[in-house]
């Protein structure tokens, strides 16, 4: 019975990883194609649907960690996925004014390359039991450049959206109301920016540690 459940788990994770891989591959292809043919102003409109689907699918990774399907700590997974979902839905989807900025292109390309490598690595590992050394190296090395470029794009887009967030008050809840509750989306965005300051170096250091551990283990094997 345990062997059967293990097989079902591996099959599910294989299908999940390769399905999301296809989504990010589509995002990357459309982004590069649009950049070449139409310019950065049109990148978001070209990638919107696959981007929303592929990034939203990452919510399942939090659930995977919570129920023990994967060993990744939720404490590391949650802030990464949460920040990306905020930028995807709370900034890009919510405020069209920022969609034509060049940072959207750097964001989408940084995210998509990272995820194409990551999902193909885990998809191969689940399907075959291991991944080739070159894919392992890419999985734990490309973030050295792509994480800073992605984070810079995220922070930049949130900052650019601040005037539009403040002016629209789209998600703000003002007093008085029947719930006796208030929420200011503008100050929430400022708070998110504040979290990026200590959070980004911490996450980068964590990933450096994961890289050292993973590559050292592969050399021993």
- In the set 12, 147, 167, 206, the catalytic residue is 147
Residue pointed to by tokens 């292809």: 29
The closest of 203, 192, 201 to 76, measured between CA atoms, is 203
Residue pointed to by tokens 């194409």: 116
Q: What is the DSSP string of 3-72?
A: HHHHHHHHHHHHHHHHHHHHHHHHHHHHHHHHHHHT-GGGHHHHHHHHHHHHHHTTHHHHHHHHHTSS-S
* Pair 212, 142: CB distance under 8 Å: no
Sign of CA dihedral 194, 152, 134, 82: positive
Is 147 considered catalytic here? Answer: yes
The closest of 86, 103, 97 to 171, measured between CA atoms, is 86
The closest of 48, 19, 18 to 31, measured between CA atoms, is 48
* Pair 106, 45: CB distance under 8 Å: no
- In the set 48, 154, 167, 186, the catalytic residue is 154
Residue pointed to by tokens 């034509």: 100
Question: What's the CA gap between 154 and 50, in Å, rounded?
Answer: 18
Is 154 considered catalytic here? Answer: yes
- Residues acting as catalytic residues: 147, 154
């Amino acid at each position: 019975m345990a062997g059967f459940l293990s097989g079902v788990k591996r099959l599910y994770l294989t299908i999940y990883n390769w399905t999301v891989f296809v989504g990010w591959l589509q995002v990357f292809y459309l982004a590069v194609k649009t950049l070449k043919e139409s310019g950065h102003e049109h990148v978001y409109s070209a990638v919107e649907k696959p981007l929303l689907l592929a990034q939203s699918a990452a919510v399942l990774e939090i659930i995977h960690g919570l129920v023990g399907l994967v060993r990744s700590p939720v404490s590391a997974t949650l802030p990464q996925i949460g920040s990306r979902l905020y930028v995807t839905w709370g900034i890009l989807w919510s405020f069209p004014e920022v969609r034509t900025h060049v940072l959207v292109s750097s964001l989408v390309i940084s995210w998509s390359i990272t995820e194409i490598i990551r999902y193909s690595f885990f998809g191969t590992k689940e399907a075959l039991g291991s991944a080739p050394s070159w894919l392992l190296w890419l999985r734990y090395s490309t973030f050295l450049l792509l994480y800073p470029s992605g984070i810079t794009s995220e922070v930049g887009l949130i900052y650019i959206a601040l005037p539009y967030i403040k002016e629209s008050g789209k998600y703000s809840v003002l007093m008085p109301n029947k719930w006796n509750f208030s929420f200011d989306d503008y100050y929430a965005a400022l708070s998110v920016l504040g979290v990026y300051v200590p959070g980004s170096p911490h996450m980068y250091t964590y990933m450096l540690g994961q890289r050292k551990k993973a590559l050292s283990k592969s050399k021993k094997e």
